[in-house]
Amino acid sequence: MTQSKNFRLFVSLIAALAIISTVRLWTSQDALTSSDTIGTALRLTVPILLAGMAGLWAERCGVLNIGIEGMMIFGTWFGAWGAWQFGPWAGLLFAILGGVFGGLVHAVATVRFNIDQVISGVVINLFAFFGVRYLSELVYVGKQGGGISQSPPQKWALPRFNLPILSGGEIAGWKSPDFLGWLELQRWFILGDLGGISRGLTHNLSWATVIAVLVVPASAWVLWRTRFGLRLRSSGESPVAAESLGVKVNHLRYYGLLISGGLAGLAGGTLSIVASSYYRQGQTAGRGFIGLATMIFGNWRPSGILIGAMLFGYAEGIKLVASDSITALFLFIAAISGVFFVVAVIRRKRVQIAVALSAFLLSAIAYRTVDTVPESLTQALPYLVTLIVLATANQRLRPPAMAGVPFRPGEPH
């Protein structure tokens, strides 16, 4: 059962690689799978991934968190402040604390006072936006390089490293060969792409990125393998049942929201400390909401969220690194939609046939007719890709059953 599942996953991965490799060689757009693109994509994936994980922790314990965006804003501001004052590691810690503060506000409002969870989240978003603007006025205005919408630049950056042997990292002063870089330069079918992708994931890495990616298995382990995790999930699935078994649902919802806030804060911190070196107003740019979208896309599971976040990250990354390649991406989408179309026809799923066919036609036409893509369209690309995947992926969504429903312990149910 699981073996055939793994085999299918392996085959579809190879097939996807083969398709994109063909497209790359056909259009000579090496940027599609270059280590540059993938590295950028990974950096852009991180904040979305963390935002998605923040959503996961909140909804698994039974509370909707629309306020992730706001908690990320706290993260960007406090992170940048901490990094400016005490260095990047302290900055990340402050970012987490800023998010935890947002999570605590949300918890007190929704768990303690039973305020509507959506309203509380929206208020946190507004409060964060204007709150940090006020703080900037107090702290940043008048400092060199700082202002009401921007912090002074940080003096230090987080260390970056390359993986030894594979991507040319150093071992005790000895510079090891960059095997993947060499492989990428050969431009061989599939192998060249594999080299580019692997090098992008292992080259010029920030430790913060490593930590962020480790959040995924760590969360999965805590949620599914520990007592705390089981109880937290039960608070989101059936708080009444959990309470009847002596689980303190509201305590767990507090913990869930504090963790959620902390992850959102860390997501903000990576934006103002890792992806740039200062806080800027509007830095989060709606990534909190994209994080929520990846959570739904990922079916409320850590691995699914990782895939969803990588999808967004890649689409955004290619836009930044090589916007010329976007036309090639149209061809890639056309090819993928074509495959989905065939699968849908074999399985006789009418809706999926229609969606895959229209996606195929649209992207094929776009590839033939469009030379340069306007900026506004390239910005919409990640959303377009997600829309297509959401429509064609035949998944059974299983959200936590009681996420969003307030729970008052000890009342007659």
One residue of 247, 258, 264, 311 binding other proteins per CB under 8 A: 247
Closer to other proteins at the Cβ: 203 or 231?
Answer: 231
One residue of 241, 354, 380, 397 binding other proteins per CB under 8 A: 241
Measured CA to CA, the distance from residue 385 to residue 272 in angstroms comes to 27
Q: List the structure tokens of 401.
A: 């059953």
Q: What is the CA radius of gyration of the chain?
A: 22
Please tell me whether residue 365 binds other proteins under the rule CB under 8 A. no
Please tell me whether residue 408 binds other proteins under the rule CB under 8 A. no
One residue of 11, 141, 148, 240 binding other proteins per CB under 8 A: 240
Q: Which residues, other chains included, contact 400 with Cβ-Cβ below 8 Å and sequence gap of 6+? A: 59, 60, 62, 233, 236, 237, 300
Closer to other proteins at the Cβ: 142 or 412?
Answer: 412
Single out the segment in contact with other proteins by CB under 8 A; choices: 176-184, 193-201, 204-212, 246-254.
246-254
Please tell me whether residue 398 binds other proteins under the rule CB under 8 A. yes
Among 393, 394, 390, which residue's Cα sits nearest to residue 382?
Answer: 390
Q: Determine the 3-state secondary structure of 161 from DSSP.
A: strand
Indicate the length of the chain as a whole number. Answer: 413
In the DSSP assignment, the letter for residue 274 is: I
Please tell me whether residue 242 binds other proteins under the rule CB under 8 A. yes
- The residue written with tokens 């056309």 in the block is 334
One residue of 203, 231, 301, 319 binding other proteins per CB under 8 A: 231
One residue of 234, 294, 337, 392 binding other proteins per CB under 8 A: 234
Among 144, 252, 160, which residue's Cα sits nearest to residue 204?
Answer: 160
Please tell me whether residue 342 binds other proteins under the rule CB under 8 A. no
Single out the segment in contact with other proteins by CB under 8 A; choices: 9-17, 221-229, 271-279, 378-386.
221-229
Please tell me whether residue 237 binds other proteins under the rule CB under 8 A. yes
One residue of 138, 172, 245, 346 binding other proteins per CB under 8 A: 245
Closer to other proteins at the Cβ: 5 or 398?
Answer: 398
In our burial notation (b when 16+ CB lie closer than 10 A, e otherwise), range 272-282 reads bbbbbbbbbbe
Q: List the structure tokens of 380.
A: 């919409």
Q: Determine the 3-state secondary structure of 59 from DSSP.
A: helix
Among 148, 262, 184, which residue's Cα sits nearest to residue 24?
Answer: 184
CB of residue 7 vs other proteins: minimum separation in angstroms? Answer: 22
Among 351, 336, 339, 364, which residue's Cα sits nearest to residue 394?
Answer: 351
Please tell me whether residue 412 binds other proteins under the rule CB under 8 A. yes
Whether the CB-CB separation of 209 and 266 falls below 8 Å is answered with no
One residue of 230, 307, 364, 390 binding other proteins per CB under 8 A: 230
Please tell me whether residue 227 binds other proteins under the rule CB under 8 A. yes
CB of residue 247 vs other proteins: minimum separation in angstroms? Answer: 5
Whether the CB-CB separation of 258 and 103 falls below 8 Å is answered with yes
Single out the segment in contact with other proteins by CB under 8 A; choices: 155-163, 242-250, 356-364, 366-374.
242-250
Closer to other proteins at the Cβ: 285 or 343?
Answer: 343
Q: List the structure tokens of 90.
A: 């302290």
Among 392, 53, 62, which residue's Cα sits nearest to residue 243?
Answer: 62
CB of residue 226 vs other proteins: minimum separation in angstroms? Answer: 5
Closer to other proteins at the Cβ: 40 or 234?
Answer: 234
How many Cβ atoms sit within 10 Å of the Cβ of residue 75? Answer: 44
Single out the segment in contact with other proteins by CB under 8 A; choices: 203-211, 226-234, 263-271, 280-288.
226-234
Please tell me whether residue 350 binds other proteins under the rule CB under 8 A. no
Please tell me whether residue 401 binds other proteins under the rule CB under 8 A. yes
Backbone dihedral region for residue 360 (phi beyond 0: left; psi -120 to 50: alpha; all else: beta) = alpha
Among 161, 198, 159, which residue's Cα sits nearest to residue 181?
Answer: 198
Closer to other proteins at the Cβ: 153 or 406?
Answer: 406
Closer to other proteins at the Cβ: 187 or 248?
Answer: 248
Footprint on this chain of other proteins (rule: CB under 8 A): 225-228, 230-231, 233-234, 237-238, 240-248, 398, 400-401, 410, 412
